[in-house]
Structure 1
Amino acid sequence: MPKRTVIIVGLLAAVVLIYLFNGTKSNANGSTPAPAANQCQVAVTADVLNIRKAADPKAEVVGKYKQGAKVNVDKKVTNGFRQVGQDRWVAAQFVKPVSGSNCG
């Protein structure tokens, strides 16, 4: 197999792995980071949950979370969305608070 083909296949495999693990980020000891005071921790209930650039169902998709991913979100729901970061929003109907998390 030519060297160029091996490199391209390797890069494609790396992109797929990054995509698959996008929603399961954790800190160095393997646990999900604790939420800040204005945040709560939720689990994704949809098979795949789009992360949007704004709190609007028509906003650009900027990422995805897989089912079961635990993420820290803002306690406040805006237009049916919870904020997960700067210009990053998820539909509130597809996440549920993790046991023991104070989501207001």
Structure 2
Amino acid sequence: MKIKWSGKRTLIAAGLLVGVLWLYAMGSEQRRGDGKDGADTTSSTTQCRVEATVDDLNIRSAPALNPNNIVGTLDSGDQADAQKVEQNGFRKLDEGRWVSSEYVVTVEGRDC
């Protein structure tokens, strides 16, 4: 089967290709943060990284104690990339992901 590539078909094919590449790029950033309930298992050696010191440490959507804002958990020894931001006794892991600073320690050699 031969396809006749008119200007309109070429434009549509190029638009679809750009859309697929854009979706892939957006998804690769999302996949970077995937792991056990969102815990990242890979990162650079300079990025801030924390380790849970208790089992069932709640990951919250906001830096506040609220039973409705739990979005995941970490077990003792689980590590996650974090940011240098601390607020109300919580360490920011990522957008919409916070853990109690009381129950995490900075991984040795990381800049937090």
Q: TM-score range by the shorter chain?
A: 0.5 to 0.7
> Which has the larger helix fraction?
2
**Normalized against structure 1, the TM-score is what?**
0.63
**Normalized against structure 2, the TM-score is what?**
0.59
Aligned partner of 1:70 in structure 2 is 79
Aligned partner of 2:37 in structure 1 is 22
CA contact (8 A) 1:23 1:66 kept: no
Structure 1 gap segments, 5+ residues each? 1-20, 27-31
- 1:102 alignment partner, one of 98, 104, 111: 111
For this pair of structures, how many residues does the alignment match?
Answer: 77
Structure 2 gap segments, 5+ residues each? 1-35
Aligned partner of 1:49 in structure 2 is 57
Q: Secondary structure at the match of 1:22?
A: helix
**What RMSD over aligned residues (CA atoms) do the two structures have, in Å?**
2.3
Deviations 1:9-59 (A, max 9, x none): xxxxxxxxxxxx436543xxxxx21277xx511111011110111000125
Distance in 2 of aligned mates of 1:35 and 1:72: 10
Distance in 1 of aligned mates of 2:39 and 2:83: 18
Identity of aligned residues (%): 36
2:44 aligned with 1:34: yes
User: Which structure has the greater CA radius of gyration?
Assistant: 2
Shift in CA distance, 35/90, structure 1 to aligned 2, threshold 3 Å? farther
